[in-house]
């Protein structure tokens, strides 16, 4: 049997989607619930708060709905006839995590719109795009059962997990395509200006994708973990973020970061966008497939704790800019500037002496995603310090005749691209490096001492220079986004420069 959702644009000005769910042969007391979080973003977001006008019927007969808690209802069905449930969903969140609808575009993740039919999660789930404003198209990585050239039609996911792992972009967007090692890739850009250089974006994204596919699967006839991939990029006046999915990513970037026709240089903003693309694409392997054992099966009703975000976010952060360098999209001086920005951010965060990256991972739900004025004092970013742990391990492994690349691929093959634990990481390090890395893991991941990066970088031919804060750096730091201008030794108390904001990206 198949669970069926229909999504209609009810009212663009009131930001309302209408969602209609049909359940064949429901249970007599059929439980329905909406996730409280979206995988990849570790905060309980209470999506059900945007749900209203919830109604159920069988045939033309109303079905009583009893609410059990903030996100769960029971439909008291009479017999096994098809149950139909409809609701309005308010969608006005501009991030990549929820849903958005206005007269210019729509976007949604299934976690915010699609009630989970409890007990039926393993069945196929279909999603139909119903009423849309004239001229709008549909983009998603969910396989289409039947769709027209604009993408309007019916899509099908193998189960509920897959259903909510395929975001949708709706609107009159720019669309381009490229192949990478034979895998079709689609790039959708919403909100771009007419001077946007789409061909350059496609060419640069393709280099990143080809390099990462070769990294994980080898360059010769790679057997890629997915058969299609879609980038959904929304551009706005200001904004930055991304969320990884199994065959797509939803990205948000400032419009000015897009490449422009007739301008060949790579602006800092464009390098940042390419880093975001690289980061989210790397997640296709590192967290969507290779993932914490605790995420083997998501629990959508509550926090899912893991101590491993330093690996899945931190190591992905290490590789994002590194791939830009390996692809030749940035040069070595720029790569080192980006690296020094991360080093400076961590060095300027007093919380690194208070919290380990394993603790920061576990506490993401109440600390990383809930920053306040004390965040830099009490926490450390598992992105930023996690990426430095990756650098320290890579440099150590290279001394031992191996590399972090080899460790990542060993983990991929030993786990079959599935759930792993910290013990698996320790085993892969030992196997590749030819010795135990237990001391490094204890000190760098579970401890709070400084990472020995100065010496490790020196042994790789890179000199570490500490500079005094320059005039005006405190003011720039206080504005938050230009962390690159801060210097070693400059203690920054500004909220966005420490803890979660120490690294320039929040994903
Ligand atoms: Zn990430």
Q: What is the rounded distance in angstroms from the CA atom of residue 343 to the CA atom of residue 488?
A: 8
Among 119-123, 169-173, 451-455, 462-466, the minimum mean pLDDT is found in 462-466
Paired with 80 in beta bridges are: none
CA of 74 from ligand 1 middle (Å) equals 36
CA of 314 from ligand 1 middle (Å) equals 8
CA of 371 from ligand 1 middle (Å) equals 18
Length of the chain: 507
- Residue 439: strand, helix, or coil: helix
Helix, strand, coil in percent for the chain, rounding step 5? 35, 25, 40
CA of 409 from ligand 1 middle (Å) equals 19
CA of 273 from ligand 1 middle (Å) equals 14
The yes-or-no verdict on residue 448 having pLDDT over 80 is yes
At 472 the pLDDT is 55
- Global confidence as pTM: 0.93
The yes-or-no verdict on residue 495 having pLDDT over 90 is no
Dihedral class, residue 48 (left if φ above 0, else alpha if ψ from -120 to 50, else beta): alpha
Could you tell me what percent of the chain has a pLDDT over 90?
A: 90
CA of 488 from ligand 1 middle (Å) equals 26
CA of 162 from ligand 1 middle (Å) equals 19
What tens digit of pLDDT does each residue of 1-26 get? Answer: 999 999 999 999 999 999 999 999 99
CA of 414 from ligand 1 middle (Å) equals 23
Could you tell me what percent of the chain has a pLDDT over 70?
A: 92
Question: Which residues, by Cβ under 5 Å, contact ligand 1, an ion?
Answer: 313, 507
Q: Average per-residue pLDDT in the chain?
A: 92
Angle subtended at Cα 383 by Cα 379 and Cα 389, rounded to the nearest 5 degrees: 95
Q: Which residues make up the CATH 2.60.40.3650 domain(s) of the chain?
A: 3-94+107-152
What are the φ and ψ backbone dihedral angles of 321, each rounded to 5 degrees? -70, -30
What tens digit of pLDDT does each residue of 56-71 get? Answer: 999 999 999 999 999 9
Query: Environment class of residue 133 by beta-carbon count within 10 Å: exposed (0-12), middle (13-18) or buried (19+)?
Result: middle
Q: In what order do the strands lie in the sheet with 16-23?
A: 61-62, 51-58, 83-90, 16-23, 3-11, 125-129, 153-157, 144-147
Q: Which residues make up the CATH 1.10.390.10 domain(s) of the chain?
A: 173-281, 285-507
CA of 393 from ligand 1 middle (Å) equals 19
What tens digit of pLDDT does each residue of 109-138 get? Answer: 999 999 999 999 999 999 999 999 999 999
Q: What is the rounded distance in angstroms from the CA atom of residue 77 to the CA atom of residue 75?
A: 6
Q: Which helix (H) or strand (E) holds 203?
A: helix 198-217
CA of 244 from ligand 1 middle (Å) equals 7
At 468 the pLDDT is 76
Tokens of 124: 């196929």
- DSSP tally for the chain: helices H, then strands E: 15, 23
Paired with 57 in beta bridges are: 62, 84
43-65 core/surface letters (b: 16 or more CB in 10 A; e: else): bbbebbebbeebebebeeeebee
CA of 283 from ligand 1 middle (Å) equals 7
Render 76-116 in DSSP notation, one character per residue. Answer: E-SSSSPEEEEEEEE-B--SSSSEEE-SSEEEE-HHHH--E
What tens digit of pLDDT does each residue of 346-394 get? Answer: 999 999 999 999 999 999 999 999 999 999 999 999 999 999 999 999 9
Rounded to 10 degrees, the C-alpha dihedral 335/338/344/350 comes to -120
What are the φ and ψ backbone dihedral angles of 61, each rounded to 5 degrees? -90, 130
Between 34 and 477, the more confident residue is 34
Residue 19: how many CA atoms within 13 Å on its side-chain side?
27
What tens digit of pLDDT does each residue of 262-308 get? Answer: 999 999 999 999 999 999 999 999 999 999 999 999 999 999 999 99
At 52 the pLDDT is 98
Q: What is the rounded distance in angstroms from the CA atom of residue 140 to the CA atom of residue 398?
A: 40
DSSP state letter for 468: P
Helices (H), 164-197: none
Radius of gyration of the chain measured on its C-alpha atoms: 23
Paired with 87 in beta bridges are: 19
Cα 331 to Cα 126, 336, 338, distances in angstroms: 46, 9, 11
The yes-or-no verdict on residue 474 having pLDDT over 80 is no
CA of 313 from ligand 1 middle (Å) equals 5
Q: Which whole number is the average pLDDT over 91-111? A: 97
CA of 212 from ligand 1 middle (Å) equals 15
Cα 320 to Cα 2, 245, 464, 505, 506, distances in angstroms: 39, 16, 22, 11, 13
CA of 280 from ligand 1 middle (Å) equals 6
CA of 383 from ligand 1 middle (Å) equals 8
Q: What is the rounded distance in angstroms from the CA atom of residue 328 to the CA atom of residue 326?
A: 5
Contact 387, 315 (CB under 8 A): yes
CA of 492 from ligand 1 middle (Å) equals 24
CA of 236 from ligand 1 middle (Å) equals 21
Confidence label for 494 from pLDDT (cuts 50, 70 and 90): very low
What tens digit of pLDDT does each residue of 419-442 get? Answer: 999 999 999 999 999 999 999 999
Cα 315 to Cα 13, 310, 357, 372, 392, distances in angstroms: 42, 7, 12, 25, 11
Class at the top of the CATH hierarchy for domain 3-94+107-152 = mainly beta
The yes-or-no verdict on residue 506 having pLDDT over 70 is no
Q: What is the rounded distance in angstroms from the CA atom of residue 261 to the CA atom of residue 212?
A: 27
Cα 168 to Cα 125, 225, 251, 285, 473, distances in angstroms: 15, 21, 12, 21, 41
Residue 312: how many CA atoms within 13 Å on its side-chain side?
33
CA of 279 from ligand 1 middle (Å) equals 6
Q: Domain spanning 173-281: which superfamily? A: Neutral Protease Domain 2 (1.10.390.10)
Q: What is the rounded distance in angstroms from the CA atom of residue 178 to the CA atom of residue 201?
A: 11
* Nearest partner of 291 among 323, 343, 246, judged by Cα: 246
CATH topology assigned to domain 285-507? Neutral Protease; domain 2 (1.10.390)
Q: Which whole number is the average pLDDT over 314-333? A: 98
The yes-or-no verdict on residue 499 having pLDDT over 80 is no
Q: What is the rounded distance in angstroms from the CA atom of residue 452 to the CA atom of residue 458?
A: 10
């Amino acid at each position: 049997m198949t669970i069926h959702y229909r999504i209609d644009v009810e009212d663009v000005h009131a930001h309302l989607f209408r969602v209609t769910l049909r359940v064949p042969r429901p249970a007599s007391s059929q439980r329905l619930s909406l996730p409280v979080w979206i995988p990849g973003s570790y905060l309980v977001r209470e999506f059900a708060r945007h749900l209203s006008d919830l109604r159920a019927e069988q045939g033309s007969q109303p079905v009583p709905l009893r609410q059990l808690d903030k996100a769960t209802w029971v439909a008291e069905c009479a017999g096994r006839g098809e149950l139909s449930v409809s609701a309005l969903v308010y969608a006005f969140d501009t991030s990549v995590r929820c849903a958005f609808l206005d007269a210019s575009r729509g976007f949604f993740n299934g976690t915010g719109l699609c009630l989970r039919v409890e007990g039926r999660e393993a069945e196929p789930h279909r999603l139909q795009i119903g009423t849309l404003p004239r001229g709008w198209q549909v983009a998603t990585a969910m396989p289409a059962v039947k769709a027209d050239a604009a993408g309007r039609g019916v899509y099908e996911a193998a189960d509920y997990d897959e259903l909510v792992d395929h975001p949708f972009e709706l609107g009159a967007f720019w669309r381009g395509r490229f192949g990478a090692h034979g895998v079709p890739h689609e790039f959708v850009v919403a909100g771009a200006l007419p001077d946007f250089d789409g061909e350059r974006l496609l060419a640069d994204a393709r280099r990143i994708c080809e390099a990462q596919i070769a990294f994980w699967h080898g360059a010769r006839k790679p057997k890629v973990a997915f058969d299609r991939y879609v980038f959904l990029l929304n551009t706005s006046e200001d904004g930055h973020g991304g969320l990884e999915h199994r065959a797509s990513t939803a990205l948000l970037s400032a419009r000015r970061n897009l490449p422009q026709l007739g301008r060949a240089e790579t602006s800092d903003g464009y390098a940042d966008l390419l880093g975001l693309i690289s980061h989210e694409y790397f997640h296709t392997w590192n967290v969507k497939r290779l993932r914490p054992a605790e995420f083997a099966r998501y629990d959508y009703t509550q926090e899912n704790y893991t101590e491993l975000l330093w690996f899945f976010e931190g190591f992905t952060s290490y590789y994002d800019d590194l791939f830009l360098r390996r692809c030749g999209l940035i040069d070595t001086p720029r790569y080192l500037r980006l690296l020094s920005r991360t080093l400076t951010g961590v060095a300027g965060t007093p919380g690194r002496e208070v919290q380990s990256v394993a603790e920061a991972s576990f506490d993401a739900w109440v600390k990383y995603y809930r920053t306040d004025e004390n965040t830099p004092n009490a926490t450390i970013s598992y992105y930023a310090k996690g990426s430095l742990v990756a650098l320290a391990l890579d440099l150590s492994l290279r001394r031992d005749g191996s590399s972090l690349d080899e460790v990542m691929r060993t983990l991929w093959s030993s786990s079959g691209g599935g759930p792993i634990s910290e013990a698996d990481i320790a085993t892969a390090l030992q196997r590749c490096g030819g010795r135990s890395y237990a001391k490094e893991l204890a000190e760098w991941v579970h401890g709070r001492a400084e990472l020995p990066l100065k010496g490790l970088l020196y042994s790789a031919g890179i000199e570490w220079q500490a500079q005094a804060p320059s005039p005006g750096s405190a003011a720039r730091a206080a504005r938050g986004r230009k962390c690159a201008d801060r210097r070693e030794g400059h203690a920054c108390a500004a909220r966005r420069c420490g803890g979660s904001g120490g690294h320039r990206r929040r994903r």
